[in-house]
Amino acid sequence: MKFTFWIFLCLVFLVGCVASPTTVPQPTLEPTPTDIPSGPPTRFKLSIATNGIYHVTAIDLQKAGADIAQLDSQTLQLFLGDKEIPIRVQGEGKDLTFDFYGQATNSIYSTVNVYWLTWGAQPGKRIVETTAIPSRGTPKESFSTMLHFERPTIYAAQFGELNAPWFWQSLSAPATTTLTVTLPSAVAAQAKLRMNLWGSTQDSVNPDHHLRLFFNDARIADESWDGQGAHAISATVPANNVRAGINTVRLVAPGDTKAQADVVLLSSIDITFTQKLSAQDDALAFEGNTGTFRVGGFSSDAIDLYDISNPIAPTRLVSPSIASRTITFASESASNRRWLAVGANARKPVARIAPMSASVLRSLNRQADYVVITHPDFINALQPLVQWRQTHGLKPRIVTTTQVYDEFGFGAESPLAIREFLNWIQQNWKSPAPRFVLLVGKASYDYRDYMNAKNKNLLPTFLIETPHLRQAASDNWFVNSDEKTGRPNLAIGRIPAKTPEQVTLIVNKIIAYESQSADWRQRAVFVADDKDPSFIQLADILAGQVRAGMQSQKVYLANYKSDVKSTRDDLIAKWNAGAAVFVYIGHGSIDTWAEGPLFSAENLGDIKNGDRLPILITPTCLDGFFSHPQIDSLAEGLLFKNDGGIIAGLVPTGLSVTDTQSALMQELFKQMFGSSLPTLGEAIMRAKRQVAADTAEMREVIDTFGLLGDPGLTMGK
């Protein structure tokens, strides 16, 4: 596939514009004693979003389902991952409370950090208390601090660091933008500002980027530079321009470099300034070494002081000097310490407390060869499919994302937990050993929901580094044994559903498809774009690989003298007549095939093939981009079409070229139309294991061509 303007069109679709989990019964077909909790849960997840001291009561736990009569204050333990976090416990029984220092998450996969609580095993860690040092000398009234400002609204994977594809704003010169930053209790003293940028365009002229930077209307920087990539502008803000509260930052791109395009992305702003030692919202975190510190502005004299220099092992300082809503203490530390003074109104409630899933997934008697990982909302809708698979000789198990996160991710939402679970069952489930993995739920590359878009991340995929798109979704990553080759160990597929109704639709399609045999399954349709000879060449090769007796029908744009409408009309007619396999080879984007367009999401209404559902195979670009937060891919539109469409599809989430795609496609057709007649998922798995994964481009094809549909789908004649 030649990359002309199509890459630009494809990337345009990728740039972004600017529910609480449901508790469900343990899903299983054959309940065993280990599947059923023996009593009230004694492990609870505590979800938090920001740094601070958190306050939890026995009544809070009771509301979440805890039997507080059995709650033992001595054995109360709090963990973050596998590390125990010390807590401060007071009271007993229904009067029990505890405090802990919680940290915001730095995970790219979630906006909340998950701590987990248990009791009854062993004595828990407690926050160490030390006596505060009395004040000595003149107290300090201010301190130096740095605030980081960002507002991720633009996703641009082709720019930025690999795991940092989000940006605040884009400036295409000539352009001006004004932002605001709040500096609480700022002192009128010199400040330092760092503007973190990314040059996204490059031209033969040098320099090709120019920005002027203003802080509260005072020009503090005027800088030019050349080329693509990361760039930072550092500037000094005069003391008389620093204000307590809201300040403005203005960026001006004058567009005077003579470059054809001067486009710069703003990532974030760091400001180092001097702040008063005064509480904000009844709390203040600050740094300092030797000296006396006096912090005022609290709501009352009920003030706690913590040393949070080691945030997972804070120390509480007792007996500081407190008077007139002000706390005073001294430090003899030669190095900087970080302190947190907290008033009565600043102890935070935990955002959500929920029971953790019973520990059953690691039980060997849950072994299965057909494993369904689903968002909890879809369990009921999946039951007919699971029963159908069981009736036809497989041993299925339904596992929820909540269970996987709780047992393999310490409660935190992450694709890493899903991979860990799948690795574990491959090593430990032997009779039967896992063969198929079906993921059920929509994914989004917007893990943290910055866009608040319509497509939520119900079951995450993993974003891998790729040569062409830079970052692309890969479900194959969950089951590959070697990240250097990408070769999968299991047959994996996904139903990217948003609702139970969509799951039911696909389940009904699968059962009906596998229950019938018809003449239309003796046809295969091959559609080829006319923009490159390699498209037709590959189509001809694949058409010659179908099984004996199968009719290959060719709809090549070139054979219709590049008349898009005539080609489209014939394409739709053949689709509606029914075919076992429908193949498109050519240029593509998220919801479009070829120029014209030859076929797009707008033509879905013309597809009315009823139960004559083909397997879709598209050696193109982005056709299966199921992780877009705002746009549904063309393959998804066809999969969830209620009066026809497709039964499944091997479709790409990234960009790749025909020469590389060809190797996988030819091997796939050998597997699909060989004498063994494997399931669709196994045919794809075998093909990926056979091709030579000796280049980054081939790895991209292996990783980004994924199955939308059931990997256990049987391909009868």
pLDDT digits 0-9 by tens, 370-394 = 999 999 999 999 999 999 999 999 9
The two structure tokens encoding residue 118: 């248990």
Supply φ then ψ for residue 32, to 5 degrees: -125, 165
pLDDT value at position 39?
54
pLDDT value at position 269?
98
Q: CA 664 to CA 700: how far, in whole Å?
A: 11
Q: CA 634 to CA 586: how far, in whole Å?
A: 14
Q: CA 642 to CA 652: how far, in whole Å?
A: 23
Burial-class residue 517 by CB neighbours within 10 Å (0-12, 13-18, 19+): exposed
Please answer whether residues 666 and 583 qualify as being in contact, where contact means their C-beta atoms are separated by less than 8 angstroms: no
Q: CA 342 to CA 304: how far, in whole Å?
A: 5
The amino acid at 337 = R
Mean pLDDT lowest for which of 28-37, 152-161, 438-447, 479-488?
A: 28-37
Q: CA 489 to CA 229: how far, in whole Å?
A: 37
Written as one string, the DSSP assignment of 77-91 is EEEETTEEE-BEEE-
28 pLDDT more than 60: no
Q: CA 557 to CA 437: how far, in whole Å?
A: 37
- Residue pLDDT, tens place only, 599-636: 999 999 999 999 999 999 999 999 999 999 999 999 99
Q: What integer is the mean pLDDT of 247-267?
A: 97
The amino acid at 430 = K
- 493 DSSP 8-state letter: E
Please answer whether residues 304 and 260 qualify as being in contact, where contact means their C-beta atoms are separated by less than 8 angstroms: no
554 or 7, greater pLDDT: 554
Which residue, among 698, 168, 155, has the nearest Cα to 447 in the 3D structure?
155
Burial-class residue 245 by CB neighbours within 10 Å (0-12, 13-18, 19+): exposed
- Residue pLDDT, tens place only, 332-373: 999 999 999 999 999 999 999 999 998 789 888 888 999 999
Please answer whether residues 275 and 185 qualify as being in contact, where contact means their C-beta atoms are separated by less than 8 angstroms: yes
8 pLDDT more than 60: no
Q: CA 85 to CA 312: how far, in whole Å?
A: 6
Q: How far apart are the first and last CA of the chain?
A: 32
Which residue, among 122, 109, 38, has the nearest Cα to 79 in the 3D structure?
122
pLDDT value at position 24?
32
> Which residue is listed with tokens 């947190």?
340
Peptide bond into 238 cis (omega under 30): no
- pLDDT exceeding 70 applies to what percent of the chain? 94
* Domains (range + CATH), the chain: 33-125+350-354 (no CATH), 142-276 (2.60.120.260), 518-705 (3.40.50.1460)
- 12 DSSP 8-state letter: H
pLDDT value at position 40?
64
586 pLDDT more than 60: yes
Please answer whether residues 340 and 282 qualify as being in contact, where contact means their C-beta atoms are separated by less than 8 angstroms: no
pLDDT value at position 366?
82
38 pLDDT more than 60: no
Burial-class residue 549 by CB neighbours within 10 Å (0-12, 13-18, 19+): exposed
Q: CA 87 to CA 101: how far, in whole Å?
A: 8
695 pLDDT more than 90: yes
pLDDT value at position 481?
80
Which residue, among 626, 698, 712, has the nearest Cα to 666 in the 3D structure?
698
- Residue pLDDT, tens place only, 526-552: 999 999 999 999 999 999 999 999 999
What Rg, from alpha-carbon coordinates, does the chain have? 30
List for the chain the helix, strand, coil content (%; round to 5): 25, 35, 45
Average pLDDT, the chain: 93
Q: CA 650 to CA 379: how far, in whole Å?
A: 25
- pLDDT exceeding 90 applies to what percent of the chain? 88
CB atoms within 10 A of CB 418: 26
20 pLDDT more than 50: no
Q: What integer is the mean pLDDT of 237-258?
A: 98
The C-alpha angle 223, 226, 230, rounded to 5 degrees, equals 85
- Residue pLDDT, tens place only, 418-427: 999 999 999 9
Q: What integer is the mean pLDDT of 441-448?
A: 98
The two structure tokens encoding residue 542: 């694949």
The two structure tokens encoding residue 681: 């998922």
The two structure tokens encoding residue 704: 């980004």
- Residue pLDDT, tens place only, 590-601: 999 999 999 999
Q: What integer is the mean pLDDT of 570-584?
A: 98
Please answer whether residues 286 and 297 qualify as being in contact, where contact means their C-beta atoms are separated by less than 8 angstroms: no
pLDDT value at position 33?
28
The two structure tokens encoding residue 123: 């004595």
Contacts of residue 209, Cβ cutoff 8 Å, sequence gap at least 6: 199, 201, 224, 225, 226, 231, 253, 257, 259, 262, 264
Mean pLDDT lowest for which of 5-19, 55-69, 146-160, 440-454?
A: 5-19
Q: CA 690 to CA 706: how far, in whole Å?
A: 16
- Residue pLDDT, tens place only, 142-152: 999 999 999 99
Residue 22 pLDDT class (50, 70, 90 cuts): very low
The C-alpha angle 458, 109, 104, rounded to 5 degrees, equals 125
34 pLDDT more than 80: no
Contacts of residue 285, Cβ cutoff 8 Å, sequence gap at least 6: 51, 308, 338, 339, 340
pLDDT value at position 3?
40
- Residue pLDDT, tens place only, 170-180: 999 999 999 99
pLDDT value at position 32?
31
Please answer whether residues 656 and 701 qualify as being in contact, where contact means their C-beta atoms are separated by less than 8 angstroms: yes
- Residue pLDDT, tens place only, 46-61: 999 999 999 999 999 9
pLDDT value at position 305?
98
